[in-house]
Amino acid sequence: MQIVTSHKNTDFDALASIIGITILNNDVLGVVPKMVNSNVDKFLSTHKTAFNLIQPNELNLDRVNKLIVVDTDQWRRLDRMEKLKERENLTIEIWDHHMNGNGDINASWKCQEYIGATVTLIVREMKKRGMKLNPLDSTVLLIGLYEDTGHLTYRSTTAEDAMAAAYLLENGADLNVAARFLNPPYEEMQRDILFSMMQDTEKVVINNRAIGLNIVKLDKKVKDLSGVVSMYRKIINVEAVFVTFVYDDTRSVIIARSANEHINVAEVLGHFGGGGHHSAASATIAKSPLTPHEMNEQIKKLLRAQRKTGATIADIMSFPVTQVPPSATMKDVQELMASQHIRGVLVTEEDQILGIVVLWDFKKIKQDRQWDMSVKSFMSRKIITVEPDAPPALAAEMMTADDIGHLPVVHEGKLIGIVTRTDILTYFYGMVPE
């Protein structure tokens, strides 16, 4: 007998991948763990009979000679498959997009790569075989793909994920049905937890990035906590959050989300025996010698130690900075800007930044004689500076917040460069300046 199964707390990518494998091969029986996410549970309650699915307790493991594992590569994440671990003559296949290096399932064949969803790997095979799908199958696969890619918006999304979505839509995937299972309504319990978290957030800045930490005591099991944590991160507007849900003295669960490519939450929670993705991870902690507060300290330490990769302002800024003394006239400034093809000039005196004149300021000139007046009458004195080791995203935020296009870069009181909108665009879109 051949079976396909996936991780406990089954999400839609895992369920869709199980179903996808049974579509690829009719002889394979899908085994869905007992614990599934609530939207998966809701889906199964009405759709179960449409697919070839059973639960682990309905299965006789002695008869299994081929095991296909999707959306994970770890034994401990599977539901009641321990007996197969030591089995000889068992063929194992893995389809997965988790690349943590924690995998302990020894597969004889695997398809494992960085991609938005495991479903995409399975769709690749369907496309290769020129398969046509029915609307029901297409819909469930699309839900899995959209859930794991955040409707194709997460950083991990690839062009192939989008093409897989196109294929599923071509095959009749129903977006109305998909929307119903992708956006489960917030229930009162989850809303209460969200509100209590917002009142008691610890916000810290680590490596120039805002992080939120929270400890929540729960007296009963609450569904969809990961959805609550995702929303919480957006509301408190931080790059990453770590929320520890404490059930009792012996058990807690940390759920983490990151929206920053340089904060790898799976790596941090790996130290607590957890796992997941770069941007979404969790860890179940039983009988830890550390208190939740001590765990938070540990998390902060691990975050500080995460290699400071990525560009800083110093990498993208322009220098030397074009400067004029306060005695310069507007005419001088205009000529300077035209010859250097720049839109702003700093007015400085003995290392002090007095102000800035930008292209826009020329509009203030109403009479010809004003061209001979000092820049002092036209410059703006409101200067916002940035540190060279800040991330480019921070500069972009400052520009947006204050609607300014020039940020002088100051290090230890000294002007060392300037960041303009062009520098930011060049960085974010990988355009090489001419």
Sheet holding 109-112, edge to edge: 53-54, 28-31, 2-5, 66-70, 91-96, 109-112
- Dist. CA 74–CA 102, nearest whole Å: 7
Q: Which helix (H) or strand (E) holds 385?
A: none
Q: What per-residue string of b and e applies to 195-222 under the rule 16 or more CB within 10 Å gives b?
A: eebeeeeeeeebbbbbbbbbbbeeeeeb
Of 112 and 288, the one with the shorter C-beta distance to Mn ion is 112
Eight-state DSSP code of residue 262? T
Of 227 and 408, the one with the shorter C-beta distance to Mn ion is 227
Q: How far is the CB of 185 from Mn ion (least distance, A)?
A: 23
Of 20 and 355, the one with the shorter C-beta distance to Mn ion is 20
Site residues for Mn ion, 394-423, by CB under 5 A, read: none
Of 6 and 214, the one with the shorter C-beta distance to Mn ion is 6
- Chain residue at closest Cβ approach to Mn ion: 13
- Rule CB under 5 A: is residue 148 a binding residue for Mn ion? yes
In this structure, the strands spanning 251-258 and 280-286 are antiparallel
Q: How far is the CB of 70 from Mn ion (least distance, A)?
A: 9
Task: Name the nearest CA neighbour of 152 among 187, 178, 122, 127.
Answer: 178
The 10 Å Cβ neighbour count of residue 69 is 28
Quick one: which segment of 73-81, 104-112, 145-153, 319-327 binds Mn ion (CB under 5 A)? 145-153
Residue 55 in tokens: 């639960």
Of 101 and 413, the one with the shorter C-beta distance to Mn ion is 101
Of 99 and 231, the one with the shorter C-beta distance to Mn ion is 99
- Dist. CA 43–CA 60, nearest whole Å: 26
Interface map 54-73 toward Mn ion (x if CB under 5 A): -----------------x--
Q: How far is the CB of 409 from Mn ion (least distance, A)?
A: 41
Task: Write the single-letter amino acid at 400.
Answer: T
Q: How far is the CB of 65 from Mn ion (least distance, A)?
A: 26
Q: How far is the CB of 356 from Mn ion (least distance, A)?
A: 49
- Rule CB under 5 A: is residue 147 a binding residue for Mn ion? no
**What is the DSSP code string of 225-249?**
HHHHHHHHHHHHT-SEEEEEEE-SS
Interface map 106-135 toward Mn ion (x if CB under 5 A): ------------x-----------------
Place of tokens 């071509």: 170
Q: How far is the CB of 300 from Mn ion (least distance, A)?
A: 28
Of 90 and 182, the one with the shorter C-beta distance to Mn ion is 182
Of 116 and 355, the one with the shorter C-beta distance to Mn ion is 116
Of 71 and 361, the one with the shorter C-beta distance to Mn ion is 71
Task: Name the nearest CA neighbour of 146 among 169, 170, 129, 125.
Answer: 169
Quick one: which segment of 12-20, 224-232, 291-299, 361-369 binds Mn ion (CB under 5 A)? 12-20
Q: How far is the CB of 284 from Mn ion (least distance, A)?
A: 18
**What is the DSSP code string of 307-359?**
---S--HHHH-B-SPPEE-TT-BHHHHHHHHHHHT-SEEEEEETTEEEEEEEG
Which of 13, 93, 239, 423 is in the footprint of Mn ion by CB under 5 A?
13
Upper half-sphere CA count for residue 91 (Cβ side, 13 Å): 10
Of 148 and 161, the one with the shorter C-beta distance to Mn ion is 148
In this structure, the strands spanning 209-217 and 275-276 are unpaired
Of 94 and 415, the one with the shorter C-beta distance to Mn ion is 94
Interface map 71-90 toward Mn ion (x if CB under 5 A): x-------------------
How far is C-alpha 237 from the geometric centre of its chain's CA atoms?
13
Q: How far is the CB of 132 from Mn ion (least distance, A)?
A: 25
Beta carbons within 8 Å of 375's beta carbon, 6+ residues apart: 324, 326, 328, 329, 330, 332, 333, 345, 347, 355, 357
Task: Write the single-letter amino acid at 285.
Answer: I
Q: How far is the CB of 230 from Mn ion (least distance, A)?
A: 15
Q: Is the Cα dihedral 149, 150, 152, 154 positive or negative?
A: negative
Q: How far is the CB of 204 from Mn ion (least distance, A)?
A: 30
Report the interhelical angle of 135-149 vs 12-24 (nearest 10°). Answer: 140
Q: How far is the CB of 174 from Mn ion (least distance, A)?
A: 21
| Count of positions on this chain that bind Mn ion (CB under 5 A) | 4
Site residues for Mn ion, 169-208, by CB under 5 A, read: none
Can you give the binding site for Mn ion, defined by CB under 5 A?
A: 13, 71, 118, 148
